[in-house]
Amino acid sequence: MRRSSGFAPTEPPQPSPRRHNAVLRLYDAPLHRDWAFWLTVGLAALETVSVLTHPGPASGLPRWLDTLLAVVVFTALFGVLPAWIRLHVRRWRRRRHHPRPAPPDSATRPPSDTPPPSVAPPTDHAPPPRTAPPPHTDPPPHTGPSPHTDPPPRTAPPPHTDPPARTAPPPHTTPPPRQTAHQEPVPPPAFARPETPHPPSPDPLAAARRTLPHPVARTVHEMQRAHTPKDRHEALLEAAETLAATVTVTAAGLLTAYGVGERNLAELRTALAGTGTTFGTWTTWLHHLCRVARERPDVVPGLAEALRDGSDMAARPDDPGLVQLLDRLKGERNRTSHGDKPRTQEEAALRVTEHQLTLERALASAQFLAGLPWLLTVSCAYQRRTGTFEVVADHLMGDHPDFDRLTFPCAAPVADDTVYVLSPAGPVALSPFVASLYCEQCGRREICHANVAGRRNRTAAYKSFGRGHVIPHPELDDEISALPGTRPPRR
């Protein structure tokens, strides 16, 4: 996708906002827009000229002292006094229309005698725990000063107390995932998940850019910053296909770790051994995954609700599930690939308007991926004092290409330079479905998904999420062969 560069035309400067009683608590800022300031200055100048040009007898005082006293008296009476009266009128109007709320009950309640919970020492790079408010109190309403009036008197702040530590989630009751020859051991659920400091957004595109795995968030960002309707249409279809691939490889990695859905994994292996993966490969596989997601909702939390396949949550035409929404976008992709591309910018804009709502609903249905963050491990070191492993990993979430680096303890070792998904049972490796490989065409490392298995006349390869570049990787063939199902004969 081409990116145009340039600078937007500069806009005319906007006038400064008026701030009441900001100068000496009497005059408004900026001063040239306040009538009381000009009244004061005008009276001072008028009185100065009047006294200096008065032809009457002298009062016995020096001319300069006589002029100064007259200017001070007249300016104070007819300039400063009206400004002072205006200040009190404004305060009275503010108290009338915005009465001061009563202090909350928590401000007068004596401190509890129960000791605070113990706070675990944070690691070097892990984000600090959040302080949750007490469940029996409501947050005090905002009582900040209005931008047009003086701030009310400050109240004494409450006594400082140490923030309570976040309670650990209850232990997971599902059986631990089955370990395979090519799978890393899964530690118990003692890992604190990374938290996002941003509040949730009602905009599905903004929420996807912030909370979903990087491949999806990046394509959504590319769609939003596209300069022409044709580029936006192409980026929309790319975001839909990337979303389908991300959901598929995440579910496939968890199925492999838990040892369930062998028939589904065999189907995915057959597709990899055939002509390779396409948009239809992902949607067809998700259709067949509905039964497993309904029977084992603990394997991929939130997937059964997103697919809406079941007697109590069956998808309706007016409320389709994730796969039905992806099928509609796949139909637009097939239409575009078979020669019916938008010919003009106007046609592309109409087709974007037609399918953007479908993509937004699909992104909203896939928000369960925000609870299954991706991690790219950097190092894993054994800590002799605690008997755990200190893991350093990149947080592969959000659209920013510079990933946050996390440091956390883990009960079992993990492999370096491997993409993991943080499940309720702990980190689970997404290999061989996802890998971080060096792309010679891009000149940097890229997050890739398995594309095709090896045959006699071809090499197993990954495909980059970002640019779609095919990266040969012979070791992928052996990992795909270890998946359940009968291996097809080489050709």
Is the four-CA dihedral 23, 24, 25, 26 of positive or negative sign? negative
Which pair of structure tokens corresponds to residue 240?
Answer: 């839909």
Tokens of 182: 């090519």
Q: What is the rounded distance in angstroms from the CA atom of residue 325 to the CA atom of residue 28?
A: 56
Largest Cα separation within the chain, whole Å, is: 124
Task: Name beta bridge partners: 427.
Answer: 422
Under a CB-based contact definition with an 8 Å cutoff, are residues 177 and 428 in contact? yes
- Residue 451: predicted pLDDT: 92
CA dihedral sign of residues 109, 110, 116, 121: positive
Contacts of 94 (CB under 8 A, 6+ apart): 146, 149
Distance, in Å, from the CA atom of 178 to the CA atom of 176, rounded to the nearest integer, reads 6
Contact partners, residue 87, CB within 8 Å, separation at least 6: 21, 25, 26, 150
Cis peptide preceding 432, ω within 30 of 0:
yes
Other beta carbons within 10 angstroms of residue 488's beta carbon come to 12
Q: Is the dihedral of CA 422, 427, 428, 433 positive or negative?
A: positive
Nearest C-alpha neighbor of 447 from the set 482, 428, 427, 420:
420
Name the residue with tokens 């007068």: 108
pLDDT lower than 50: segments of the chain: 1-10, 104, 106-129, 131-153, 155-157, 159-168, 170-176, 179-198, 200, 310-312, 489-491
- H or E segment at 422? strand 419-423
Q: In this structure, what token pair is assigned to residue 50?
A: 């009047």
Contacts of 331 (CB under 8 A, 6+ apart): none
Cα dihedral across residues 297, 303, 309, 312: positive or negative = positive
At 325-370, the pLDDT tens digits run: 999 999 999 999 888 889 999 999 999 999 999 999 999 999 999 9
Tokens of 462: 């990954």
How far is it, in rounded angstroms, from Cα 380 to Cα 392? 6
pTM check: above 0.85: no
Question: In angstroms, rounded to a whole number, what is the distance separating the alpha carbons of residues 392 and 125?
Answer: 9
Which residues share a beta bridge with 422? 427
What is the tens place of the pLDDT at every residue in 375-434? 999 999 999 999 999 999 999 999 988 899 999 888 899 999 999 999 888 899 999 999
- The structure tokens listed for 473 are 């990787």
CA–CA distance, 290 with 306 (Å, rounded to integer): 10
pLDDT score, position 6: 42
Q: What does the alpha-carbon distance between residue 1 and residue 21 come to, in Å, rounded to a whole number?
A: 53
pLDDT at 46: 84
